[in-house]
Structure 1
Amino acid sequence: MAEAPETGGTPRRAARVILLDERDRVLLLHGFEPADPSETWWFTPGGGLEGDEGWEEAARRELAEETGITEIELGPLLWRRTCSFPFDGRRWDQEEHYYLARTRQTAVWTGGGTELERRSVTGLRWWTCGELLATHETVYPSRLAELLGTLLRDGPPKAPVRLETERA
């Protein structure tokens, strides 16, 4: 995760990945608020664009840094979302692009990433759509189970879908 601007500035641009394995399970990371480790959630791999990096390039780099997975077939842009949330003592405003990717590679948590990621991510897990629908844990984006179900049933949208803004 790169530094994020405070509220009112230009939103941080973040590329995120909906990574599916051969069994159509999606890979999510488990994170927590550094000031309150009891506040946890699951989220998709990805993070901020660096320098003049493009969205797809950032998606590949972030996925490799956060999961160790480099053997992927990067697919189309699925969704766009604007979000704003408190984390690590400040407000983060983001414009997110979600890319579909597939892999046969087994995930191995590398423990890599930024210092903030090392302080706030505990691991990762492959989830089925059914498990996402049944969980009471917090998952971002909040409609991921429904979105994944639609993706698996209908395939990628013909044009990227604008998701509702999420503000925590």
Structure 2
Amino acid sequence: MTVKLLLLDHENRVLLIRAADPRTGRQWWYPVGGGVEPGESLQQAAQREAYEEAGLAQLPMGTLVWTRDHTYRYDGRTVDVHEDWLHHTVQHFDPAPANLSDYETKSVLGFRWWDAEQLSQTNDTVFPPGLGDLLSALLRDGPPPVPVDITEPARS
């Protein structure tokens, strides 16, 4: 299981990481987050990941808004994950990773704060697909009473 963080600043911009697959060179944007370690709660994993990947030492409590099951290829491997997405409102900050894993060190290229419109209009690859529209709906409607499953339909 993994936790994904929608780190939104007070201008409703979300922090995304730019990365490249070390084997293929393919690049994409994705949110801060990673695996939940044994014995960790989602909030504890979110706090750890926010610090390790972005250098954010103080993370306010998050709200579970989405879930997603996803299969992807990275560095020649196929990875199946279940993601729980937490929304956090944070002060704007300049990301500075504090403790990247070996594979993150090889793949992370940088960071950017995006607003929903920019995400909807970009030609860059962004995960999850449709993040701009998902973020717009979250900002418009507020957190859902139960997490929304944003798993993409299987391609045939």
TM-score interval (norm. to shorter): over 0.9
TM-score where L is the length of structure 1: 0.87
Asked whether the 8 Å contact 1:112–1:118 carries over to 2, the reply is no
Does the alignment pair 1:43 with 2:41? Answer: no
Q: Specify which of 104, 119, 129 is matched with residue 117 of structure 1.
A: 104
Letter in 1 for 2:146: A
Sort the Cα spacing of 1:97 and 1:104 in 2 relative to 1 into closer, same or farther, 3 A: same
Residue correspondence of structure 1 range 63-102 to structure 2 within 5 A: 63-102=50-89
Cα separation, 1, equivalents of 2:153 and 2:128: 8
5+ long unaligned stretches in structure 1: 1-12
Identical positions, percent: 35
Cα separation, 2, equivalents of 1:115 and 1:167: 31
Counterpart of 1:27? Answer: 15
Higher strand share: 1
Q: CA deviation at 1:55?
A: 1.5
Sort the Cα spacing of 1:166 and 1:118 in 2 relative to 1 into closer, same or farther, 3 A: farther
TM-score where L is the length of structure 2: 0.93
Does the alignment pair 1:16 with 2:41? Answer: no
Q: What secondary structure does 1:113 align onto?
A: coil
Moved over 6 A (4+): none
Cα separation, 1, equivalents of 2:41 and 2:33: 13
Aligned pairs, number: 155
Letter in 1 for 2:83: E
Q: Which moved more, 1:55-64 or 1:69-78?
A: 69-78
Q: CA RMSD in A?
A: 1.6
5+ long unaligned stretches in structure 2: none
Counterpart of 1:140? Answer: 127
Cα separation, 2, equivalents of 1:55 and 1:166: 25
